[in-house]
Amino acid sequence: MFEMNFGAESLEIQLQRDGLSEAYAENLRRATAYATELAETGLLPFAKQSSEGPELTDVATAATHIRAGFKHLIVLGTGGSSLGAQAAIAISRYLPDHVAGTNTHIHTPDSLCPFEMDRLFAALEPAKTHVLAISKSGTTAETLAQLLACRAWLETKVSGDALGAHFTFITEPGERPLRTYGEKLGSPILDHPTDVGGRFSVLTTVGMLPVAVSGLSAAKFRKGAEDVSSDFCENPGASAAVVGAALTHTLHQHKSVTQVLLMPYAEALRAFTRWHGQLWAESLGKDGLGTTPIRAIGPVDQHSQLQLFLDGPNDKFCTFVTVPSLGEGPRIDPAEAKSYGLDYMAGRTIGDTVTCQSRATQETLRGKGRMVRELVIDRLSEENLGGLFVSFMLETVVTAHLMGVNAFDQPAVEEGKILTRQYLADL
């Protein structure tokens, strides 16, 4: 699925040099024990989404309806109800064997913005647009506001009897505003699992329906996640999730590392860094604790953030995600390169350049005393991305355990939601 490495020197040598061997060994023991406990109790629900789950039939049916009848799909959701799907479908245009049988363009206005909604409505045709509204609780204010606006816009061109076919809903079972709304419209409603939180929901119907509409395979995403989950259960002490959690906590405790950097060298994974940022921040930032996620993309952020990473505070644990790309992409004409004194580029491909840049950046960071981990996936695929999703979710949960916080709640944000409703009522 993917391999993990720490450069020319082994992790053990680096830890010994930094005086962290004993502390890391203890945290790895604790992390492994917790992972073993999770495995013995059947893992957490987000890591048990089956590639043969019966709900995938409902996903396929809904996706077929959307793809057959609509040119555009607007996905309404914020945070975990949108970021996972965005990260998943982003790889579709990079897969050479991707089934290009969908003419449905997916739009994800995940941040409530009046100007974005105006722009979207001006650009799309109501009669050719489907709306997917996602909210676990069914009460998310941003999503409900967008939904009401979308309905009013659709009604300018769509008759009342046909309106229900333009909507699909994903929310928990039970009495809740979003579900009631969908029932009154007579629209399809898919269940959001009650035991999976929004930011952990990418492998559920929440992420898999947009995946299916995009023409990607939901079953393959889940198969990749199943493989990584199996490895986690069978050999937890060697899994990227457990090692990453033990390292993060050790560096935070003993080296004042307060930030975690995720820097893929693959443009297809840009949206993945946004998904990871929410997962990490909202799961771990509690009770005055937590480490701050930083998003970067190589090679472009070598020219914007790398100076800070190299020469600023040594307070970051750096994770690179790379895809082998030697020989990939356009090849630079040798004569043309040499005519401008660019002999080192002559005959090389763009992929050669990116590979060397990633290697050079990692080695330079290590030379500056930074802890750097590289996760290498053999190719961009649904299976590999599904594996990355579940690995980082498991890493987050194990890190929370080591910190002593609950990974699955977010109590601090509730006050803002209450005040927002109050201020709206007072207008």
Q: Which residues are catalytic?
A: 282, 303, 417
Residues in a beta bridge with 292: 259
The tokens describing 190, both together, are 């898919």
Measured distance CA(182)–CA(175) in Å, rounded: 11
From residue 72, alpha-carbon distances to 58, 64, 120 in Å are 20, 13, 11
Residues 6+ apart with CB under 8 A from 134: 75, 76, 77, 81, 82, 143, 169, 170, 171, 192, 206
The tokens describing 425, both together, are 């009522």
Are 209 and 189 spatial neighbours (Cβ–Cβ below 8 Å)? no
Residue 313, amino acid = P
Residues 6+ apart with CB under 8 A from 355: 322, 324, 325, 326
Phi, psi for 137 (deg, rounded to 5): -75, -25
Measured distance CA(167)–CA(164) in Å, rounded: 6
Q: How many CB atoms lie within 10 A of CB 309?
A: 24
Measured distance CA(229)–CA(224) in Å, rounded: 9
Measured distance CA(184)–CA(338) in Å, rounded: 69
Gyration radius from the chain CA atoms? 23
Measured distance CA(406)–CA(67) in Å, rounded: 39
